[in-house]
Amino acid sequence: MSKIIIAIDGYSSSGKSTMARDLAKRIGYVYVDSGAMYRAVTLYAIEHGMASTDKGMDTGKLIKALPEIEISFRPAGEDGIQHTLLNGVDVERRIREMDVSNLVSPVAVIPEVRKHLTSLQQQYGKERGIVMDGRDICTTVFPDAEMKVFVNASPEERARRRVLELVQKGADVNYEDVLKNIRERDHIDTTRKESPLKRADDAHLLDNDKMTIAEQMDWLLNLYKKITGSENRD
- C-alpha angle with apex 127: 9 to 125, nearest 5 degrees? 25
Nearer Cβ to ligand DC (154/222):
154
Of 213 and 222, which CB lies nearer to ligand DC in the complex structure?
Answer: 213
User: Hey, what amino acid is at 153?
Assistant: A
Question: In the window 42-101, what residues touch ligand DC (CB under 6 A)?
Answer: none
* Among the residue ranges 33-41, 50-58, 77-85, 158-166, the one whose residues contact ligand DC (CB under 6 A): 33-41
What secondary structure does DSSP assign to 170-195, as a single string? Answer: T----HHHHHHHHHHHHHHHHH-SSS
Should residue 181 be labelled a site residue for ligand DC when binding is judged by CB under 6 A? no
What's the length of the chain? 234
User: Exposed, middle or buried: residue 98 (CB in 10 Å: 0-12, 13-18, 19+)?
Assistant: middle
Q: Which stretch binds ligand DC (CB under 6 A): 32-40, 48-56, 72-80, 221-229?
A: 32-40
**With respect to ligand DC, which residue has the nearer C-beta, 166 or 228?**
166
Residue 92 vs 189, nearer CB to ligand DC: 189
The torsion defined by the Cα of 213, 127, 123 and 234, in degrees rounded to 10, comes to 10
Least distance (Å) between residue 228 CB and ligand DC:
24
Establish if 116 lies at the interface with ligand DC (CB under 6 A): no
Q: Are 37 and 121 in contact (CB under 8 A)?
A: yes
Interface contacts to ligand DC, rule CB under 6 A: 12, 34-35, 38-39, 104-105, 108, 134-137, 185, 189
